[in-house]
Amino acid sequence: MVKRHKYSNTFVEPDLPITPMLDMSFQLLAFFLTTFNPSPIEGHMDMALPKEMGDANSSVVPPPDPTQELPEELTVQVDATEAGAIADIRIGNKTITGQSLGSDSAKMFANLQARRKEIGEKPAKVRLECGDNLSYKLLIKLMDEITRAGFKQVAPALQDDRKKK
Protein backbone atom coordinates (compact mmCIF):
# COMPACT_ATOMS: atom_id res chain seq x y z
CA MET A 1 0.00 0.00 0.00
CA VAL A 2 1.18 3.48 -0.83
CA LYS A 3 1.73 5.76 2.05
CA ARG A 4 0.76 9.38 1.58
CA HIS A 5 2.56 12.18 3.30
CA LYS A 6 0.53 14.96 4.63
CA TYR A 7 2.15 18.39 4.22
CA SER A 8 1.50 21.00 6.81
CA ASN A 9 0.32 24.45 5.79
CA THR A 10 1.79 26.23 8.74
CA PHE A 11 3.66 29.43 7.84
CA VAL A 12 7.32 29.49 8.82
CA GLU A 13 8.65 32.94 9.70
CA PRO A 14 12.09 33.55 8.07
CA ASP A 15 14.80 34.64 10.42
CA LEU A 16 16.20 37.99 9.07
CA PRO A 17 18.76 39.53 11.38
CA ILE A 18 18.15 43.25 10.73
CA THR A 19 20.74 44.58 13.18
CA PRO A 20 23.84 43.54 11.18
CA MET A 21 22.31 45.01 8.01
CA LEU A 22 21.70 48.33 9.75
CA ASP A 23 25.25 48.31 11.12
CA MET A 24 26.67 47.72 7.66
CA SER A 25 24.55 50.45 6.05
CA PHE A 26 25.68 53.01 8.65
CA GLN A 27 29.31 51.97 8.16
CA LEU A 28 28.97 52.46 4.39
CA LEU A 29 27.28 55.83 4.94
CA ALA A 30 30.09 56.95 7.27
CA PHE A 31 32.73 55.76 4.78
CA PHE A 32 31.24 57.69 1.85
CA LEU A 33 30.71 60.82 3.95
CA THR A 34 34.32 60.86 5.11
CA THR A 35 35.88 60.09 1.72
CA PHE A 36 33.73 62.45 -0.40
CA ASN A 37 35.93 65.16 -1.91
CA PRO A 38 33.99 67.66 -4.05
CA SER A 39 36.00 69.38 -6.76
CA PRO A 40 36.38 73.15 -6.44
CA ILE A 41 34.11 75.34 -8.49
CA GLU A 42 35.78 76.19 -11.76
CA GLY A 43 36.26 79.81 -12.72
CA HIS A 44 34.30 81.66 -15.34
CA MET A 45 35.64 81.10 -18.84
CA ASP A 46 34.91 83.57 -21.63
CA MET A 47 34.41 81.74 -24.87
CA ALA A 48 34.86 83.40 -28.24
CA LEU A 49 31.52 82.54 -29.85
CA PRO A 50 30.14 84.29 -32.93
CA LYS A 51 27.53 86.96 -32.27
CA GLU A 52 24.11 86.78 -33.82
CA MET A 53 23.05 89.60 -36.12
CA GLY A 54 19.54 90.63 -37.10
CA ASP A 55 16.31 90.48 -35.17
CA ALA A 56 15.71 88.41 -32.06
CA ASN A 57 14.15 85.53 -34.04
CA SER A 58 17.04 85.24 -36.50
CA SER A 59 19.67 82.58 -35.93
CA VAL A 60 21.74 83.38 -39.02
CA VAL A 61 25.37 84.26 -38.31
CA PRO A 62 26.92 86.57 -40.91
CA PRO A 63 30.17 85.50 -42.59
CA PRO A 64 33.38 87.10 -41.27
CA ASP A 65 34.39 90.40 -42.84
CA PRO A 66 37.55 89.82 -44.95
CA THR A 67 38.59 93.46 -44.57
CA GLN A 68 38.66 93.17 -40.80
CA GLU A 69 42.10 92.83 -39.26
CA LEU A 70 42.97 89.28 -38.23
CA PRO A 71 43.79 88.87 -34.56
CA GLU A 72 47.36 88.38 -33.39
CA GLU A 73 47.73 84.75 -32.32
CA LEU A 74 50.16 83.56 -29.67
CA THR A 75 50.83 79.94 -28.81
CA VAL A 76 51.57 78.87 -25.23
CA GLN A 77 52.90 75.32 -25.08
CA VAL A 78 52.79 73.59 -21.71
CA ASP A 79 54.56 70.27 -21.18
CA ALA A 80 53.37 68.15 -18.27
CA THR A 81 55.10 65.63 -16.04
CA GLU A 82 53.72 62.13 -15.48
CA ALA A 83 52.21 63.37 -12.18
CA GLY A 84 50.27 66.17 -13.94
CA ALA A 85 52.46 69.12 -12.89
CA ILE A 86 53.88 71.74 -15.25
CA ALA A 87 57.25 70.66 -16.68
CA ASP A 88 57.94 73.52 -19.12
CA ILE A 89 56.18 76.56 -20.62
CA ARG A 90 57.05 78.08 -24.02
CA ILE A 91 55.46 81.12 -25.66
CA GLY A 92 55.72 81.75 -29.40
CA ASN A 93 53.79 82.55 -32.56
CA LYS A 94 52.03 80.09 -34.86
CA THR A 95 55.25 78.88 -36.45
CA ILE A 96 57.98 79.98 -34.03
CA THR A 97 58.46 78.08 -30.80
CA GLY A 98 59.48 80.51 -28.08
CA GLN A 99 62.12 80.19 -25.45
CA SER A 100 61.58 78.07 -22.38
CA LEU A 101 60.20 79.83 -19.30
CA GLY A 102 60.57 76.84 -17.01
CA SER A 103 57.66 75.64 -14.91
CA ASP A 104 56.84 78.99 -13.27
CA SER A 105 53.45 80.32 -14.39
CA ALA A 106 54.31 83.77 -12.97
CA LYS A 107 56.98 84.16 -15.68
CA MET A 108 54.36 83.25 -18.28
CA PHE A 109 52.00 85.88 -16.84
CA ALA A 110 54.68 88.60 -16.93
CA ASN A 111 55.70 87.64 -20.49
CA LEU A 112 52.09 87.72 -21.70
CA GLN A 113 51.46 91.09 -20.03
CA ALA A 114 54.48 92.54 -21.86
CA ARG A 115 53.28 91.08 -25.17
CA ARG A 116 49.78 92.46 -24.58
CA LYS A 117 51.29 95.95 -24.11
CA GLU A 118 53.27 95.54 -27.38
CA ILE A 119 50.15 94.51 -29.28
CA GLY A 120 48.09 97.36 -27.86
CA GLU A 121 44.37 97.45 -28.59
CA LYS A 122 44.56 95.13 -31.61
CA PRO A 123 42.57 91.90 -31.27
CA ALA A 124 44.64 89.01 -29.99
CA LYS A 125 44.05 85.42 -28.98
CA VAL A 126 46.07 82.72 -27.26
CA ARG A 127 46.19 79.04 -28.19
CA LEU A 128 47.04 77.07 -25.05
CA GLU A 129 48.56 73.73 -26.11
CA CYS A 130 48.80 71.36 -23.14
CA GLY A 131 50.36 67.97 -22.60
CA ASP A 132 48.10 64.96 -22.09
CA ASN A 133 48.91 64.61 -18.38
CA LEU A 134 48.36 68.23 -17.27
CA SER A 135 45.87 68.35 -14.39
CA TYR A 136 42.65 70.27 -14.93
CA LYS A 137 43.32 72.43 -11.88
CA LEU A 138 46.54 73.74 -13.47
CA LEU A 139 44.85 74.13 -16.87
CA ILE A 140 42.16 76.37 -15.34
CA LYS A 141 44.85 78.32 -13.42
CA LEU A 142 46.82 78.92 -16.66
CA MET A 143 43.66 80.02 -18.51
CA ASP A 144 42.86 82.43 -15.67
CA GLU A 145 46.37 83.93 -15.77
CA ILE A 146 46.17 84.37 -19.56
CA THR A 147 42.85 86.18 -19.15
CA ARG A 148 44.27 88.39 -16.37
CA ALA A 149 47.19 89.28 -18.67
CA GLY A 150 44.68 90.92 -21.03
CA PHE A 151 43.86 88.21 -23.57
CA LYS A 152 40.12 87.57 -23.75
CA GLN A 153 40.20 84.76 -26.31
CA VAL A 154 41.83 81.59 -24.97
CA ALA A 155 41.61 78.32 -26.89
CA PRO A 156 42.85 75.24 -24.97
CA ALA A 157 44.06 72.31 -27.09
CA LEU A 158 46.14 69.17 -26.76
CA GLN A 159 49.72 69.35 -27.97
CA ASP A 160 50.46 67.84 -31.34
CA ASP A 161 53.00 65.02 -30.84
CA ARG A 162 54.88 66.07 -33.99
CA LYS A 163 55.55 69.57 -32.61
CA LYS A 164 57.06 68.35 -29.33
CA LYS A 165 60.81 68.48 -28.81
User: Is 115 inside any structural domain?
Assistant: yes
User: Is 44 inside any structural domain?
Assistant: no
Specify the higher pLDDT residue, 101 or 44.
101
Q: Print the domain residue range for 92.
A: 76-158
Give the count of domains, the chain. Answer: 1
User: Is 120 inside any structural domain?
Assistant: yes
Most confident option among 27-36, 50-59, 122-131, 133-142: 27-36
Predicted pLDDT of residue 134: 86
Q: What is the CATH number of the domain that holds 88?
A: 3.30.420
CA distance 112 to 92: 10
User: Residues of 104-133 as b/e, b for ≥16 C-beta within 10 angstroms?
Assistant: ebeebbebbeebbeeeeeeebbbebbbbee
Tell me the whole-structure pTM to 2 decimals: 0.54
Q: Average of pLDDT values for 85-94?
A: 82
Instruction: State which H helix or E strand residue 18 sits in.
Output: helix 18-35
